[in-house]
Structure 1
Amino acid sequence: MNKFHLKLISELVAATEQLDMPIWIGGGWAIDARLGRVTRPHDDIDITFPAERKDEFIGLLESMGGRVTEETDYGFLAQLRGILLDCEPAHWVGNAYEVEDTPQGSCPMAFEGQIEGMLIRCNSWEAILWDYFYFADELPQAQWPAKHIHSYALVCSVLGVEHVQRLRATFDSK
């Protein structure tokens, strides 16, 4: 399955670059891209796109054979070639794109990730961690699937215990 995901990520990055539309890969694939290696099988691809270009982004997905399957409180889900895309908007805040309610710097413009030679824009480590904080509020960590426990541990090891604790305190105070 990962090879199909990687091919689709590559095609999406190329297509959005042609449109001068930045996208960022999030979640497990962002972890892998930031580490430069595939760490586990993936069920979906998390994508962050410019909020003001939502219709254009959906049009691109449709032109590639995809379709929106569900509107969510944070964005939408789509299917493309049998692969689930979990799509979330980033909002322009004057000098950068940011995912709502995440730490500043959630959508760096630099291609900070790479998998199999492919450069990828990724959500920041802090934004990735923030998703796990939301997940932990919905489901106790003891009930998480092994893949999420593994990925969360990778993020924590990169950021370090103190940084994770500071971010959790900030998350809890919002």
Structure 2
Amino acid sequence: MAERPAEGSAFDLVTSSYTGTVRALGQARPWRMSAGSRPLVVAVPHAPGVPDLPGADEEAAALIGMLPGARLLRGQAATRERLMAELQHHDIVHIASHAGSDADRHYEGHLVLHDGRLHFGNIATARAGQRGLAFLSACGTARSRIDVPDESLNLLSAFQLAGFQ
């Protein structure tokens, strides 16, 4: 048990949130991969205005090797419009890119893609259906908005609202 007598237990020190809303939690269902579904791997090793991520290419190559038939969106092909369209067709999505939050948008989270930022609101409304797994390999994906620090309104919950378990 994570406890220090003088400070109390972990439950006294943290707020644990695994879902953005009760509605999203209620919509979660057991998941099975759709017949013919292929994983989507997104790699953004270079994007304007942020440091390069050379490991994104290595990560994508390893996943493509382990997941036969996986679709790759890399570099210039990894755009906001393309990712939003592809979310509709893949049960498993792995994204290796930068992530961050915008102070002028109440610290709303975003993924950095080749052509700019894809924000929480765009992702949450993607209507991907009941998909399986979205793995976000990016720093700051669990950072919540500053105006609601005890709620889980971050990129992780955006993908859950879009239908990923």
Smaller-chain TM-score range? under 0.3
Larger Rg belongs to: 2
Q: What TM-score, normalized to structure 2? A: 0.27
Q: What TM-score, normalized to structure 1? A: 0.26
Pick 1 or 2: higher relative contact order, CA cutoff 8 A, min separation 6. 2
